[in-house]
Amino acid sequence: MPRPFRILSHLILLVACLMLTLAAPAGASSVRVLTVQGAISPASADYLLRGIDKAIDDQAHLIVIEMDTPGGLDSSMRDIIKAILASKVPVATYVSPKGARAASAGTYILYASHIAAMAPATNLGAATPVELAPTDGDKPTASDKPTQSDKPEAAKPADTPTGDPKMRKAVHDAAAYIRGLAELRGRNAEWAERAVREAVSLSASEALELKVIDIVATDLDDLLKQLNGRVIKMDGQTVTLNTAQIEIERVEPDWRSRLLAVIGDPSIAYILMLLGIYGLIYEFSNPGMLFPGVVGGICLLLGLFALQVMPISYAGLALMLLGIVLMISEAFVPSFGALGLGGVAAFIIGSVMLIDTDLPGYGIPWMLIVPVAAATALFSFFVAGMAIQARARPVMTGAEEMIGAPGEILADMEHEGWARVHGEQWRVRSKAPLARGSRVRVRARHDLILDVEPDKEIDHV
């Protein structure tokens, strides 16, 4: 081939390679790593769902969820599992680092993933659902006292869970759910059901022996090394992983996920709701201030938004509101402390009942409830009381201060004339004739005209 044609062919080949490189989706040869630490909440669910969707859009080769969780909300857990099951990119859930756990909701997510992996010195299990509040809404999945299995053999699951009919229904539902996930991924379904019915746990080595997980890896690099060449079934097709020398992209939570995580904390939501109530009370007591009303409205809406995704007790919320009303009423209706003390008691009881403390990370600590109750009581007894005393004082300035002010008639008058009030000349009206120099007192004001009457106290003296 002549040299010019050879050069031209090389240029065409180079341009074609560049075009293929530019056309290749970003992340097509990368691993997306998402990290979840702490309770499974609406914030963590939002972070994982958006991370999985972005990885699918970028056609990433693999999604790795590094997880360390004590459990979380049932609704958030199911949203995450639905996203994993619908993912077109393989998802590997990795319980890491050493000492981490995948308890309760984490066990379900581990079972739902295409690949289940754990680091040494980690554990999973204790997936018995626990109802946090007597409502029909979200129920966190957590265990009261996780137990460790004595032997790695998988025993037959218990036929009937203990508890009331509602609890038995929740346990049966959770057992069927995790069994379905286990059968879908070809994992140990018998032990999964024991984790729900008996709240048993496993270490990483025992989980691998019982085929609960697929891999035990010391770190992320070791995990990717072991995954290289592994064949995964997805939607009736097989996918071979090629994770050797692959690019790793870590996706950190953005501002939205961080905001949801902050306001999704029960203690923060509790404080926001109280700030909102206090702000609105202050605004209604002093109309026109605007700032307390605006800030209070925003805080109250943020607090209610956070509480509506949590399993709250409406009886506890009602007791809190009743306690605030009683403590404020003490300032208006003196009852020798009866209303105030009753309000403090109702407020504390309602705060304790608002969210149960069985699930780690979803309780309101006593160290927060007691100071807030004390501050609310002080606000009601002293601040509100001082405001009432201030209102009882006579008006010192403004138009209202003119009512009752003394004055002197400047000229004889039948019904209308002029008078000096507070060193100023005012147009005045009187029902009776008044002589010059008569002492009068203002009884009403109509714009720039004052209604006056003789000052009987001065006349009598």
CB under 8 Å to 8, separation ≥6 — which residues?
none
**Separation between Cα atoms, residue 287 and residue 279, nearest integer Å:** 12
272 closest CA partner among 259, 287, 253, 285? 259
**Separation between Cα atoms, residue 339 and residue 345, nearest integer Å:** 10
**Separation between Cα atoms, residue 144 and residue 138, nearest integer Å:** 18
Whether 145 is catalytic is yes
**Separation between Cα atoms, residue 163 and residue 178, nearest integer Å:** 20
* 217, two tokens: 């890896």
**Separation between Cα atoms, residue 4 and residue 433, nearest integer Å:** 124
For helices 384-392 and 314-332, the axis angle rounded to 10 degrees is: 40
Query: Checking DSSP bridges between strand 237-240 and strand 424-429, what pairing results, if any?
Result: unpaired
Whether 156 is catalytic is no
* 191, two tokens: 């032990």
Instruction: Decide: 443 and 453 in contact? Cβ < 8 Å.
Output: yes
210 closest CA partner among 193, 227, 225, 197? 193
Which one is catalytic: 41, 76, 104, 438? 104
Instruction: Decide: 350 and 322 in contact? Cβ < 8 Å.
Output: yes
**Separation between Cα atoms, residue 188 and residue 191, nearest integer Å:** 6
Instruction: Decide: 399 and 387 in contact? Cβ < 8 Å.
Output: no
**Separation between Cα atoms, residue 170 and residue 167, nearest integer Å:** 5
347 closest CA partner among 415, 270, 237? 270
Instruction: Decide: 221 and 245 in contact? Cβ < 8 Å.
Output: no
Q: Which residues are catalytic?
A: 104, 145
